Amino acid sequence: MERYWNEEIECMPREDMKKLQDERLVAQVKHVYENVKYYHDLMDEKGVKPEDIKSTDDLHKLPFLTKADLREAYPYGLLAKPLSECVRIQSTSGTTGKRVVAFYTQHDIDLWENCCARAITAAGGTDEDVCQVCYGYGLFTGGPGLNGGSHKVGCLTLPMSSGNTERQITFMRDLGSTILCCTPSYAAYIGETLHDMGYTTDDIKLKAGIFGAEPWTEEMRHSIEKSLGIKAYDIYGLTETSGPGVSFECSEQTGMHINEDHFIPEIINPDTGEVLPEGEVGELVFTSITKEAFPLLRYRTRDLCVLSRKKCSCGRTLIKMSKPMGRSDDMLIIRGVNVFPSQIETVLIEQGYSPNYLIEVDRMNNTDTLDISIEMNPTQADSAGEDIQMYEKTLASSIKTMLGISPKVHLVNPKSIARSEGKAVRVIDKRKLHD
C-alpha cells in the first residue's frame, strides 16, 4: 500500500493545486518585490509590477534569475528577511567562483524537512525504520536535509556523514539500518565494500535507498539494487531552492514528483528562454512560492530534463520530472558532438563493468581527444595482453555506437580508480587548462 507524508497535498486535484499555487505566487512576488532590491530592480528593468502577476499563467512575465545573479548578489543581496529571523545557511559545493549561500528561517527549515519526509515516506519509511544518513553534513544540504526529514518521519536516525566506509557497514549491521541515504556513487562503493568484507545482502537489513545529488543511470540503479538488496529511489534538489526534496521518486520509479505546493517548475529552451510545452527536453526553472528568507523566482537550474503529468500509479498528482540528464554546463562537446558522462556509464554497466570510470578530454593538434579509463572485472585481471586489447576494442566500439565518436578505452586494474564518498568526479577536461 502506498504511504504518503501529506496525502491531501500529494494527491490534491490539479485544479486545487493550481489555485494554491496562484495564491502563493501572487503573495511571493509581492514579498520579493518589497524586500529584495536586486530582484525589484530586475522587475523594473523588465517593466513588470507585482500587480501584473495575477496567477501562475503570468509566471512567464517575470525575469529569470541565474547563478551569475546569485554570485553578484553574494552574500546578502537576495535575502528577503531580516537577519534576526534567519536561523541557518547552507552552501553549494562549487569549487569555482564564489560559493552560493542560501538562507533559511525556521519556517524554511520546516518546509524543507517536510519535503524530505515526503521522500522518505514514498520510499516506504515509517517510525519503525532505522535511517542511515551518509550524505555529507555541514554546508552541503544532503546530510542536514535527509537528517531533518528522517526525524520528522520518526525514524531512528544515524547521522553518519560520508566516509569511513567499513565503519558505515559495521553500524549498518549492528543497528540494523533499513534505509540508506547517500549519493548513488557512494552507495555503489558501500555495496562493493560490503562484499569485500565478506558479507552478503543476507547480513544486512536494508530495504530502501534514497540516492541523489548527482546524475545516475537506470543501469547504475539496477547495479546498486542488486549489490545492496534494496529498492533504490531517486531524490533531487539544489542548494538554491533549499536542498534535497524538491522532488522525489515513488514506487512507480518513472520520474520524480515535484513538491508543487512549494516549487513551480517550468521547462525552457536554454538558448532563447522560451517556455516549452510539457514533454519537451529543456532547462528546468523553479519558482519557490513558500520560502521566506531566500525565495528565488524563475531560477534557472541548468539541469536538463522533461516534465510529465501522466497519471501515476502511486496516486500522487504532483507533476513528475525525468532524471536530469546532467547539467547543461556538464555536457561535454567533443569534436562538435554533445556527450553526457551518463551515456558512457550506460554502456559500461550494460557490458558487465563496474561503475568506476574516468573520462579525460584533451586537445592535441587542434583535435579533441577522448580517453576513458574503466576498471577491468576481477575475472579479466589475469587475461593475456591480446585479450585485454580485444575487450578494449569491444567497449570502444559500443561507446562509439552510443556517442557517434571514437574514444580510446583503457582497461585498468580493479580498484585503481578513486572511489567517491560524495559527488563523484567522472570527468577531467584538460582543454580548459589550455584556454
Residues that bind ligand DLL (CB under 6 A): 92-93, 135, 141-142, 212-215, 234-239, 243-244, 301, 303, 323-324, 327
Nearest distance from residue 212's CB to ligand DLL, in Å?
Answer: 3
Of 43 and 182, which has the nearer Cβ to ligand DLL?
182
Of 165 and 328, which has the nearer Cβ to ligand DLL?
328
| Cross-strand pairs, 300 | 285
Single out the residue of 318, 3, 5 nearest to residue 149, CA to CA.
5
Q: Whose grid coordinates read 574503466?
A: 374
Nearest distance from residue 136's CB to ligand DLL, in Å?
Answer: 9
Residue nearest to ligand DLL (CB): 212
Of 191 and 215, which has the nearer Cβ to ligand DLL?
215
Of 50 and 215, which has the nearer Cβ to ligand DLL?
215
Q: Give the number of other CB atoms < 10 A from CB of residue 73.
A: 18
Query: Distance between CA atoms of 262 and 50, rounded to whole angstroms?
Result: 19
Query: Distance between CA atoms of 159 and 143, rounded to whole angstroms?
Result: 8
173 in Cβ contact with 198 (< 8 Å): no
Determine phi and psi for 274, rounding to 5 degrees. Answer: -65, 140
Of 219 and 371, which has the nearer Cβ to ligand DLL?
219
Nearest distance from residue 289's CB to ligand DLL, in Å?
Answer: 19
Nearest distance from residue 234's CB to ligand DLL, in Å?
Answer: 5
Nearest distance from residue 183's CB to ligand DLL, in Å?
Answer: 7
Query: Distance between CA atoms of 348 and 27, rounded to whole angstroms?
Result: 49
Residues 6+ apart with CB under 8 A from 88: 103, 104, 109
Of 282 and 324, which has the nearer Cβ to ligand DLL?
324
Helices (H), 214-311: 218-228
Nearest distance from residue 235's CB to ligand DLL, in Å?
Answer: 5
Nearest distance from residue 162's CB to ligand DLL, in Å?
Answer: 11
Q: Which grid coordinates belong to 375?
A: 576498471
Of 141 and 161, which has the nearer Cβ to ligand DLL?
141
Single out the residue of 236, 234, 237 nearest to residue 249, CA to CA.
234
10 in Cβ contact with 2 (< 8 Å): no
Of 244 and 407, which has the nearer Cβ to ligand DLL?
244
User: What letter would DSSP give residue 50?
Assistant: G
Residues 6+ apart with CB under 8 A from 233: 119, 122, 123, 208, 209, 210, 211, 248, 249, 253
Nearest distance from residue 284's CB to ligand DLL, in Å?
Answer: 8
| Cross-strand pairs, 409 | 372
